[in-house]
């Protein structure tokens, strides 16, 4: 018989037990002979990977209804996505070899007699495979050998750690084909446009996070393609939508969507109006079936429109101009400049300038270099919107700043400056 066709017999097992000086009373009826894997045609053991999962992923697998996938282009680090979360993937080593074996039986399944249960918190099942019964005539010995093939031997595994969704690709893929109205569509190369599913498969985030990302960057579907809007066009559409509020004398938390959409017929394409309305509104908390505009988004767009040319404004002049541009009932707030503009009160003349987070490099060191060339000193509140995309559940913004910047205290406020 060839070595490859060798199968261990009961006599072989009993001989090994004897050489190992094992007490037969500690053994169960069925022995399991482990056979190492071998390459066979049609069976590629290299395409099996070991993945460590948390409770959330385990629940998704057990439900069987969610979509689990890996995402990553050639120049990207791979991420793992569930329906609602994103994880970074890292390869980790196992200190010992780990064998994957199909249908391996646990102790109780290998014995025809009950396994002794733990006593006093100590597992004593190895003291004897039988309940208290020392009658030699009733002692079971190994009388069966089952073959168990090792599927694969693992020396490493994939470790998953939760990370924030990587939205930047949404901007990079959509900003060059911004929608500026049907009259300008002849200028757009439609081969560069993306359907919803195409973009979802490309962006490194879960489906739920992808929906949030589209809202974050105010992207909507137009003619079955996902589009970001040209800021001038978006400003014009939103201004028209807001004018319907005053025309109908609605309270700000009692906006009628159907009337708004009807008022825009023949002026703005339906998909654009419907998409923009959904981005900028939330259901009213006071009036059922009605909506209210999000003050933070409306104010941010108006501020972005003023700041888009990168000009500096005196802080007082800017706040007056900003407030006067807003519709009645909306109030300008410095907090709404988060991620689109910075206020510099450290200089001789307090000023505001535009600085959109979406325009900064995605390399951390490159981004910090640009930030400190734009402004010498930053407090945590100012710099956080531009750094938080690099944070993880275990490494926060302050930890990143502690590693890559210098800090000093000025008039009781901690400020961050360039390390070099």
pLDDT tens, 158-215?
999 998 898 989 999 999 999 999 999 999 999 999 999 999 999 999 999 999 999 9
Which among 30, 230, 59, 269 has a CA at the least distance from the CA of 129? 30
Burial 375-408 (b: 16+ CB within 10 A, else e): bebbeeebbbbbbebbbeeeeebeebbeebbeee
pLDDT tens, 340-350?
999 888 777 88
Q: Is the dihedral of CA 336, 337, 339, 345 positive or negative?
A: negative
How many CA atoms are closer than 13 Å to the CA of 203, on its beta-carbon side? 29
Interval 311-322 mean pLDDT: 92
Between CA 328 and CA 334, with CA 333 as vertex, the angle to 5 degrees is 150
Here the tokens at position 185 are 């569509």
pLDDT tens, 368-387?
999 999 888 999 999 999 99
> Taking the domains of the chain in order of start, what are their residue ranges?
10-115+137-162, 167-228, 231-293, 308-417
pTM: 0.78
pLDDT tens, 280-308?
999 999 999 999 999 999 999 999 999 97
- The pLDDT of residue 132: 46
* Residues 29/140, Cβ–Cβ less than 8 Å: yes
């Amino acid at each position: 018989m060839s070595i490859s066709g060798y199968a261990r017999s009961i006599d072989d097992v009993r001989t090994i037990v004897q050489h190992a000086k094992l007490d037969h009373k500690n053994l169960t009826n069925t022995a399991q002979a482990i056979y190492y894997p071998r390459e066979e045609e049609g069976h590629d053991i290299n395409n099996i990977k070991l993945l460590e999962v948390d409770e959330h992923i385990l629940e998704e697998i057990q439900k069987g209804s969610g979509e689990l996938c890996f995402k990553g282009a050639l120049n990207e680090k791979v991420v793992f996505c569930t329906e609602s979360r994103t994880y970074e993937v890292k390869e980790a080593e196992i200190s010992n070899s780990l064998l994957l074996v199909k249908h391996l039986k646990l102790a109780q399944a290998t014995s025809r007699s009950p396994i002794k249960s733990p006593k006093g918190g100590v597992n004593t099942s190895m003291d004897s495979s039988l309940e208290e019964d020392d009658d030699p005539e009733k002692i079971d010995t190994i009388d069966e050998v089952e073959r168990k093939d090792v599927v694969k031997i693992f020396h490493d595994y994939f470790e998953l750690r939760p990370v924030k969704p990587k939205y930047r690709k949404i901007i990079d893929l959509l900003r060059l084909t911004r929608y500026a109205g049907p009259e300008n569509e002849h200028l757009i190369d439609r081969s560069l446009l993306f359907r919803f599913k195409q973009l979802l498969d490309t962006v490194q985030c879960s489906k739920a996070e992808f929906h949030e990302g589209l809202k974050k960057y105010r992207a909507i579907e137009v003619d079955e393609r996902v589009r970001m809007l040209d800021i001038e066009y978006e400003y014009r559409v939103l201004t028209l939508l807001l004018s319907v509020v005053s025309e109908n004398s609605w309270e700000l938390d009692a906006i009628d969507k159907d009337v708004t959409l009807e008022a825009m017929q023949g002026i703005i394409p339906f998909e654009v109006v419907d998409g923009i309305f959904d981005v900028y509104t939330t259901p009213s908390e006071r009036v059922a079936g009605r909506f209210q505009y999000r003050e933070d988004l409306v104010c941010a767009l108006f501020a972005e429109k003023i700041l888009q040319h990168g000009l500096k404004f005196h802080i007082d002049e800017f706040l007056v101009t900003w407030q006067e541009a807003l519709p009645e009932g909306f109030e300008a707030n410095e907090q709404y400049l988060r991620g689109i503009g910075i206020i510099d009160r450290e200089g001789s003349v307090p000023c505001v300038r535009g600085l959109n987070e979406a325009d900064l490099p995605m390399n951390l060191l490159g981004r910090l270099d640009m930030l400190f060339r734009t402004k010498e000193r930053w407090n945590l509140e100012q710099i956080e919107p531009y750094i938080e995309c690099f944070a993880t559940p275990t490494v926060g913004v302050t930890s990143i700043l502690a590693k890559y910047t210098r800090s000093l205290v000025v008039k009781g406020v901690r400020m961050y400056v360039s390390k070099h």
